[in-house]
Structure 1
Amino acid sequence: MVSAAEQMAANTSWAALGKATDLRNRILFTLGLLIVYRLGTYIPVPGIDGLALREFMEQAQQGIGGILTMFTGGALGRMGIFALGIMPYISASIIIQLLSSMVPALEQIKKEGEQGRKKINQYTRYGTVILATFQAYGLAVSLEAGDLVTDPGLFFRASCVITLVGGTMFLMWLGEQITARGIGNGISLIIFVGIIAEVPAALAQFFASGRSGAISPAVIIGVILMVIAVIMFVVFMERALRKIHIQYPRRQVGMKVMEGQSSHLPVKVNPAGVIPAIFASSLLLLPTTIATFSGSDAGPVMSTILAYFGPGQPLYLLFFASMIVFFAYFYTFNVSFKPDEVADNLKNQNGFVPGIRPGKKTAEYLEYVVNRVLVLGAAYLAAVCLLPEILRGQFAIPFYFGGTSVLIVVSVTMDTIQQVQSHLLAHQYEGLIQKSQLRGKGSKKRNKRGPARR
């Protein structure tokens, strides 16, 4: 059954966008900051040999270079000031969230409301600086080892670290401003725009390979159909729910007796969203990035990592799938859906699952249901992320197309559209309230004039 709010959202006319001034300002503010982000990807880091870097990235485009370019919106391919992207912030936020579920002190801070949330955000920023510093220094050393720097030395390393860390912190600030004063989740939109910006060039390269005969027309049609099918499958699975029936007993409020009500507790098939895929990707990208930029000077350990954990390799696919499944379960039960807390909330609200005792038994039942649902959710995430990797290796597609990118694009698009519809609904409700108030004032004036006429 579709709720009344969803029916109203479906009937909402997008022409009302012109009347919703606050929503229009939010959208324009978001677009403005995203344009600033795109311009920043074209500002290069000082001291980079542009020609050597371009040749290197063209050679690495089919492998790790294509993945990194896709996630950073092309900034890494041009070695721009946003070359690290927003990935250090995402990694730091996930690590802090996981630690806040395991460390009692952080868990207590998380329960302190708004003040606790501010402290957690501050710790996340500190973690972002630390991770970005390590990654920037590793990238600077790797660029020197790969002969991609005009004047290697301590000055280049220092300037590279300062520039890249500053770029990442500026991106983090942009994301927070979009979330607070714009529309949608700022961090997700930055990743979304970075992925979308690289799609036209990738498609042009793909069709150029088809015209040159490197790829057969059948493969081109098959890839297009596969992309459409994957997007449809992701949309279906992201909206899929397992509804747990909840019953509320009859209760007395003052002199009135309220009848018992029934509701449902929605459990998404994929409660963790794209977090498992993003975190697994970040774990795989860090060592292979350093190994790739190190070039021929890489040590035996890095050479082995690059050989066995390169995109499309069996160990790469196995580790990727294992990390996705692990983080799907770990993130769900420690962050997004805690059965004990949900059971306590139901008990405090006098709600219960029919046939299940409130409290511990309800928590065990919820854990049992979520465990079974997550089998399907984790398998769906792993399949969407690994299927394009396998097909790329089989058909030698000359650009990177990953399931993680599709997951991010589809999820961010759905969330942003939902937020726009929510703002439009709020605007409609405000209009209805204002009309009812005006009608109420008009009826009062007529009632006051009535006795005078007699």
Structure 2
Amino acid sequence: MASAAEQLASNISMSSFSKATELKRRLWFTLGALILFRLLSFVPMPGIDPAAMAALYQTQSGGILDVFNTFSGGALERMSIVALGVMPYITASIVVQLGATLYGPWQVLRKEGETGRKKLNQYTRYLTVLLTTVQGYWIAVGLESLGATQGISAVVEPGMLFRVAATISLVGGTLFLMWIGEQITSRGIGNGVSLIIMAGIVARLPQAIAQLLEGGRTGTMNPVIVVAIVALTVGLILFICFMERAQRRVLIQYPKRQTARGAMQQERSHLPIKINISGVIPPIFASSLLLMPLTVLQMSGAGSDPNSGDWLITVSTLLQHGSPAYLGLYAAGIAFFCFFYAAVQFNSEETADNLKRHGGFIPGIRPGKATESYFDYLVTRITVVGAAYLVLICLIPEILAAQAGLNFRLGGTSLLIVVNVTMDTVAQIQSHLIAHQYGDLIKKAKLKTGRRR
């Protein structure tokens, strides 16, 4: 059932869109910023041989680098100045968000309103610089060690000068992308950081489609499987749209109040709780933690040690994409982070206190501790459904890619990000069009009133 806002937005004609000059300006600004991001992903980091870097990356594919490479639109594979993308900023945002829920002084800042929010945003930027510096230096050292162990010299002149230059380049690229994301959020349409990630994922989409069609043309892949993959992808997108819009509406009642005419009226409202409270955080965390140890061992050159070669091969075999151990640990990690992040994201005690402070209550539930216990019980049940949904969405592409032999990893996490960001951007475009239509109606009403006078 479409909401009233969606029905109104669907009735807006193209003439209204052509008159919405501010909206068009925002769309062009967003498009230009995303094009700039794509151009920066092809600017190589100083001191890197692009051809050797491409060959070196192929020896390390299959770990967490593939996840970051997908989110950065292939920038990590080319080792550009924006190779890290906005992942350090997202990690810093999550850490600060968790800290604002668990850490006392940051809890106080969180309740201070706009002033506290600005301070937390500043802490996020500082933490982004720290994380990017550590990751940039680790990548520079890893490239030098891999060049020595694999016999592929991707670094032209190894040494401290290269490490410093690489770290500065990566920090500058990540901070510039962070600034672009903030500018898109304030001057464009949608969430800037999310749009940058989506642009990187969509940029890799033609490669996946070309690989799929080429497999069907050459006969290496059954045409029936190709059609099944396309149909399943469409079905997963529709299922994601349905689940992301699904919510549990908790009925809230307020005491009867006397109206201007002297009648007693009881107010009612709903507290919406999304089925997927944690969003796309659990799949990202689960895949990162699962693939991080193996990637660190590979980057440190442990595979070249004859004493560690056997157990490294065993671990690589057990944790390869599509293996039962990988799928089981991946599902367990997603479920764990769903419950953990839902418990942090939804504060039952604070919600119950706010309802009690404003005189609201749930029918049949006493205010206070009973309401808090009810919210805990309700969120736990909802999170079970949300965790099962995320596990299903993330495991189906992994199993399908392993069975079909696809090397490109456009998994459930990528689908979740693309669909969520697209839905959020379309909703913002609709809200701008509705606001523009309301403005025209108000102007017409004022003109009619003036003529009558």
The CA deviation string for residues 340-370 of structure 1, in whole angstroms up to 9 with x for no partner, is: 2222222233222111112221121122111
Structure 2 residue aligned with 1:68:
68
Contact map agreement 2:259 2:265 (CA 8 A) in 1: no
In structure 2, the gaps of 5 or more residues are 148-153
After TM superposition, give the deviation of residue 210 of structure 1 in Å: 2.5
Matched, 1:417 2:423: no
- The worse-fitting range, judged by mean Cα deviation, of 187-196 and 366-375 is 366-375
Note closer, same or farther for the CA distance 1:305–1:144 as it changes in structure 2 (3 Å cut): farther
For 2:37 and 2:205, how far apart are their aligned partners in 1?
A: 17
After TM superposition, give the deviation of residue 65 of structure 1 in Å: 5.1
After TM superposition, give the deviation of residue 120 of structure 1 in Å: 0.6
Counterpart mapping for 1:315-334 below 5 A: 315-334=325-344
Structure 2 residue aligned with 1:448:
none
Contact map agreement 1:206 1:398 (CA 8 A) in 2: no
After TM superposition, give the deviation of residue 273 of structure 1 in Å: 1.4
Matched, 1:165 2:171: yes
Contact map agreement 1:12 1:421 (CA 8 A) in 2: no
After TM superposition, give the deviation of residue 90 of structure 1 in Å: 0.7
Contact map agreement 2:64 2:292 (CA 8 A) in 1: no
Q: 1:279 aligns with which of 281, 285, 288?
A: 285
For 2:450 and 2:308, how far apart are their aligned partners in 1?
A: 82
Contact map agreement 2:82 2:174 (CA 8 A) in 1: yes
Contact map agreement 2:68 2:84 (CA 8 A) in 1: no
Given residue 11 of structure 1, which amino acid in structure 2 is its aligned partner? N
Structure 1 residue aligned with 2:364:
355
- Superposed CA RMSD in Å reads 2.2
For 1:98 and 1:67, how far apart are their aligned partners in 2?
A: 23
Contact map agreement 1:250 1:261 (CA 8 A) in 2: yes
Contact map agreement 1:64 1:311 (CA 8 A) in 2: no
The CA deviation string for residues 67-121 of structure 1, in whole angstroms up to 9 with x for no partner, is: 3321111101111111111111111111111121111111111111111101111
Structure 1 residue aligned with 2:52:
52
Contact map agreement 1:238 1:269 (CA 8 A) in 2: yes
For 1:91 and 1:10, how far apart are their aligned partners in 2?
A: 37
- The worse-fitting range, judged by mean Cα deviation, of 377-386 and 249-258 is 249-258
SS at match of 1:73: coil
In structure 1, the gaps of 5 or more residues are 445-454
After TM superposition, give the deviation of residue 290 of structure 1 in Å: 3.6
Structure 1 residue aligned with 2:249:
243
SS at match of 1:260: strand
For 2:391 and 2:81, how far apart are their aligned partners in 1?
A: 32
After TM superposition, give the deviation of residue 234 of structure 1 in Å: 0.7
Structure 1 residue aligned with 2:215:
209
For 2:350 and 2:402, how far apart are their aligned partners in 1?
A: 44
SS at match of 2:270: strand
Counterpart mapping for 1:282-431 below 5 A: 282-294=288-300, 296-297=303-304, 300=308, 303=312, 306-335=316-345, 337-431=346-440
Contact map agreement 2:63 2:292 (CA 8 A) in 1: no
Contact map agreement 2:86 2:177 (CA 8 A) in 1: yes
- The worse-fitting range, judged by mean Cα deviation, of 177-186 and 58-67 is 58-67
TM-score, scaled relative to structure 2: 0.92
- The worse-fitting range, judged by mean Cα deviation, of 270-279 and 311-320 is 311-320
Structure 2 residue aligned with 1:138:
138
Structure 1 residue aligned with 2:150:
none
Given residue 12 of structure 1, which amino acid in structure 2 is its aligned partner? I
For 1:207 and 1:65, how far apart are their aligned partners in 2?
A: 25
Contact map agreement 2:83 2:170 (CA 8 A) in 1: yes
Note closer, same or farther for the CA distance 1:163–1:271 as it changes in structure 2 (3 Å cut): same
Note closer, same or farther for the CA distance 1:278–1:63 as it changes in structure 2 (3 Å cut): closer
Structure 1 residue aligned with 2:78:
78
For 1:2 and 1:229, how far apart are their aligned partners in 2?
A: 20
Note closer, same or farther for the CA distance 1:406–1:112 as it changes in structure 2 (3 Å cut): same
Contact map agreement 1:278 1:404 (CA 8 A) in 2: yes
For 1:14 and 1:57, how far apart are their aligned partners in 2?
A: 47
Given residue 379 of structure 1, which amino acid in structure 2 is its aligned partner? A
For 1:133 and 1:319, how far apart are their aligned partners in 2?
A: 30
Note closer, same or farther for the CA distance 1:2–1:344 as it changes in structure 2 (3 Å cut): farther
SS at match of 1:22: helix
Given residue 385 of structure 1, which amino acid in structure 2 is its aligned partner? C
SS at match of 2:273: strand
Contact map agreement 1:132 1:164 (CA 8 A) in 2: yes
Q: 1:223 aligns with which of 224, 229, 239?
A: 229
Percent of aligned positions with the same letter in both sequences? Answer: 51
Note closer, same or farther for the CA distance 1:308–1:95 as it changes in structure 2 (3 Å cut): farther
For 2:170 and 2:318, how far apart are their aligned partners in 1?
A: 29
Contact map agreement 1:70 1:194 (CA 8 A) in 2: yes
The CA deviation string for residues 364-392 of structure 1, in whole angstroms up to 9 with x for no partner, is: 11221111111000111122112211222
Note closer, same or farther for the CA distance 1:243–1:187 as it changes in structure 2 (3 Å cut): same
After TM superposition, give the deviation of residue 311 of structure 1 in Å: 3.3
